[in-house]
Amino acid sequence: MDVNSQYCPARRDIEERSWVLVSKLAKLSSQLLNLLGNHQAFAETKDECAHVRTEFTELAQRLQSHRLLHRC
């Protein structure tokens, strides 16, 4: 986190939520490797990964918009 974002609670919140999603996606990716033989669990985990990626993309867009509007 850079110095400017330390003073902007909105940006800090978006960035922290993004880190949580990145960590969650890494964990889910590991789980996928362990579920290769279990088709149902694999499909469910794969769907959850897609949901996390979508949420992460939305947060990235919010962060970009926030940076443009607030210059932080």
For the chain, give the longest Cα–Cα distance. Answer: 48
Share of the chain above pLDDT 70, in %: 92
Residues 6+ away with beta carbon under 8 Å from 21: 52, 55, 56, 59
The answer to whether 6 and 12 are in contact (CB under 8 A) is yes
5 pLDDT exceeds 80? no
Give dist(CA 56, CA 62) in Å, integer.
10
With 0.75 as the threshold, say if the pTM is over it. no
